[in-house]
Amino acid sequence: MEHANVVVVSTGGTIASRWQGSGYAAEADGQSVLAAAPIPDGVSVRVVDLFTVNSPRLTTAHQLAVVHAVHQALADPAVDGVVVTHGTDTLEETALLLDLHHHDPRPVVLTGAQRPLDAADGDAAGNLHDALLTAARARGAGVLVVFDGLVHAARGTVKMHTVAADAFADPSGAPLGKVGFGVVSRLPQVPRHPALPLPRPDAPAPRVDMVMHHCDADPLLLEASLAAGAQGLVLVGTGAGNATPEFTEAVARAVDSGVLVAVTTRVPAGPVTPLYTGGGAVDLAAAGAVLTGTLRAGQARIAVLASLLSADDPRERTALLRRIIETPAPAPRG
């Protein structure tokens, strides 16, 4: 392998966590995290300490800072790839936001750990080594999640287990490849939409809320979100994306007032599909909501957020969200 220069953007999470007396919390800087991992042969690393927080505490401002830090790193033509170390709780959300704004053949790889930095049986070192190797070799693969020896596309990949080492997967798809014995398997070229315009670092963060449907649910919390100023909503439906006629009416009112509404499902795998009326996805789509395909709640919210940050007109926002949700067509050959 030719020599590669990789930038590590450190943001905290379990991979940077140590015991605090009653529990673990992120406290280690990026250089300390890097010191715990073997660096692959032929790879030079520069660390950017962006912030050090547990990922449940991330805000849109934090996530936009990550997007800009990655773009700044890739502004250097000598950089061959970027690794973002990140807490696992919201890694899937930042991964999709990065993916939606990524326009470079050089890879961006997110990784983290399920066990803290000072754990004797920790997974931080292995995951970071594999991420560095992937960032050095996976040109053209886009934004990736590398965890427990597997390489996943950012889009569709979610946290599937609270504490297990193999925490990440796409419940509706398969990994792109594997990392092991110093080798990254050949990765397929994942079709991607054109990158969205880069938001300003200080762009005002629109409020985007999520509401879940369940037995006995009514639109009270949805209406409360609207009253709190939500510009975007994600309805987490049952089954293939279903709720009730009362929810459909509330969604129609929200859309009519300019709110961007998406519908996903609480079911782990499979697409949101317009099969049922009576408050089902057929009616929700007719009311103006956008069905999110196989994007689950966290990533559906990021898709809504990115649409709000990229357009001002409600119709443009809806069209953009529909484009984001659509599976990109493969690039023509030849």
Does 14 qualify as catalytic in the annotation? yes
Concatenate the DSSP letters of all residues of 262-318 into one string.
EEEESSSSS-------SSSHHHHHHTTPEE-TT--HHHHHHHHHHHHHH-SSHHHHH
Number of helices (H), then strands (E), in the chain: 9, 16
Instruction: Report whether 149 contacts 130 (CB < 8 A).
Output: yes
Of 14, 90, 94, 318, which residue is the catalytic one? Answer: 14
Instruction: Read off the tokens for 75.
Output: 């502004």
CA distance 257 to 252: 9
For residue 321, give Cα distances in angstroms to 268, 294, 303: 21, 14, 6
Closest CA to 173 of 186, 196, 191, 185: 191
Burial class (CB in 10 A: 0-12, 13-18, 19+), 75: exposed
Residue 29 φ/ψ, nearest 5 degrees: -80, 175
Closest CA to 234 of 212, 252, 216: 212
The secondary structure of residue 76, as a DSSP letter, is S
List, by residue number, the catalytic residues. Answer: 14
